[in-house]
Structures are given as structure tokens and as C-alpha cells.
């Protein structure tokens, strides 16, 4: 049974519609689940269509308030198609969470052109296309919330990830400001969250146990981050009353980076 239940007893106070990218597993699935718990209808999208459909079914077996869709964030036209499918299904769309990403831990001088393009296109191009397509849609309607998932790596150059990932996530933080300035007058807020190392399977798969132990020991708070808290931050930034917060980057890194 889903840890989120079957939809009964949800905090049904919004009935707003959210699109989360990279939501088949990990942080994206956690964010989608928290939005669902708060009464949102949620479209979970991912390059892994089967995974997205499965994650949506775990949230809502009846399929009334959660659906899974295929989305390659590297393709701008794919965002248009998904947007149109969601609007046709639920008549509206109010929130975008740009979470989709890929990370590789590769030595700086060993990163190939193909590897650099792959990481940057998913993390940076995907955020840009999402903000463009959904930002225009929201602006036409005078309301929208965009939450971009950046990273500590984009602020300090990274500790366990490669330069391509750090560079892309630094770009996400900058794009957040650019789109916030452009869309603010149209009732659309654009914000970013920059998590530090999170207690997620993908992190434990990518980082060797000894290195991860050293990273955890270096965190002033003494532990890896909790994905559920990052999800709560995303829900707060997506809320209707978050209208005075835009162009911001909220840090959640256990004290690894203070400013």
C-alpha cells in the first residue's frame, strides 16, 4: 500500500494542478507525493514512462488525482505535448516543479563532450524549456508557480558530483532569477531550492560508502538531508500565498554552505 494512502483524508484545500518532472523515483516522487497529500492533482512525468505511471498509481490507484506521463525534458516540444495533455485531462495547470536531473561523479579532466552534453541538457536545458513553455502558459492566465530544483553543487562547485552537474545547477539558479524577473509582472513566481547531499538511493548508488561517510561527517548538522523536508519547501513555494517570494534560492544543506 502507498505510504500516502488512497486519497481519503487528503488535505483537500486546493484542487490545483501540479506537474513534477523526474518524478518516477527519488526526490521527484517525494515532491509529487507531498503535493498530492496537500490536495493537488499531480502529473508525475519522467523519461521512464513505466516508472512514472507506477509511481502515480501508488499515490492514487483510481487515477483521479495522479497520472503518470512520459516526458523527455531535453525536448521543448515534449513539454508542450505534456502541458496540453494535462490541460485536456484536468482543464488547468498551476504549478511546475522542474526536478528532472542526472548526475555523474566523474573526474574533471575525464569528462567527455558527450558526457558533458548529456548532463547539461537534462539539468539545464530541461529547466529552461520547462520555464519557457509553462511560464508562457501561466503568464497568459495571470497565475503560476515554478519551483526549480538546483543544488549545493551549483553554489560551491560540488563535493561528490562532476563539474558538468555543478555547472548545470549553477545555471539553474541563474535561470531562476531571469525567469522570475520576466514573469513576475504576470502573476508568476519562479524560485529555486538548493539541497545539499540527500538521504536518497541515487546518492548511495553514486557515491562510494567511504566517501559518503566522509561527506556526512563534514556536514555541520551531522546528517544527510531529508527529502521529505525538501518536498515541504517545494509545497510552500508552490502555494498561492507565496506570491511575494520570487527569484529566491532556498538553501537546505545542513550548514555546508552558509551565506
Residues taking part in catalysis:
165
Work out the number of other CB atoms within 10 angstroms of the CB of residue 129: 21
Give Cα separations from 181 to 8, 40, 87, 145, 246 (angstroms).
Answer: 39, 27, 26, 13, 8
- Cβ distance 111 to 167 under 8 Å? no
Q: Helix crossing, 26-37 with 227-238: angle to 10°?
A: 50
E-state strands within 22-143? 41-46, 66-70, 95-98
Closest by alpha carbon to 66, among 129, 125, 6, 128?
6
Amino acid at each position: 500500500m502507498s505510504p500516502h494512502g488512497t486519497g481519503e483524508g487528503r488535505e483537500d484545500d486546493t484542487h490545483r494542478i501540479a506537474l513534477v518532472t523526474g518524478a518516477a523515483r527519488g526526490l521527484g516522487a517525494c515532491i509529487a507525493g507531498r503535493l498530492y497529500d496537500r490536495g493537488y492533482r499531480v502529473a508525475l512525468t519522467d523519461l521512464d514512462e513505466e516508472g512514472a505511471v507506477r509511481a502515480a498509481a501508488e499515490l492514487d490507484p483510481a487515477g483521479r488525482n495522479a497520472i503518470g506521463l512520459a516526458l523527455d525534458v531535453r525536448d521543448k516540444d515534449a513539454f508542450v505535448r505534456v502541458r496540453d495533455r494535462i490541460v485536456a485531462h484536468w482543464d488547468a495547470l498551476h504549478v511546475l516543479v522542474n526536478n528532472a536531473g542526472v548526475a555523474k561523479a566523474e573526474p574533471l579532466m575525464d569528462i567527455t563532450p558527450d558526457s558533458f552534453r548529456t548532463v547539461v541538457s537534462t539539468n539545464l536545458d530541461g529547466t529552461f524549456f520547462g520555464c519557457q513553455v509553462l511560464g508562457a502558459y501561466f503568464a497568459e492566465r495571470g497565475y503560476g508557480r515554478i519551483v526549480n530544483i538546483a543544488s549545493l553543487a551549483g553554489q560551491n562547485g560540488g563535493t561528490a558530483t562532476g563539474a558538468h552537474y555543478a555547472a548545470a545547477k549553477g545555471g539553474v539558479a541563474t535561470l531562476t532569477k531571469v525567469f522570475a524577473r520576466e514573469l513576475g509582472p504576470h502573476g508568476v513566481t519562479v524560485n529555486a531550492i538548493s539541497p545539499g547531499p540527500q538521504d536518497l538511493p541515487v546518492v548511495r548508488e553514486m557515491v562510494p560508502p567511504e566517501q559518503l561517510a566522509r561527506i556526512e561527517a563534514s556536514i555541520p548538522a551531522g546528517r544527510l538531508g531529508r527529502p521529505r523536508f525538501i518536498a515541504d519547501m517545494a509545497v510552500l513555494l508552490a502555494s498561492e500565498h507565496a506570491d511575494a517570494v520570487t527569484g529566491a534560492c532556498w538553501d537546505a544543506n545542513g550548514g555546508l554552505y552558509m551565506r
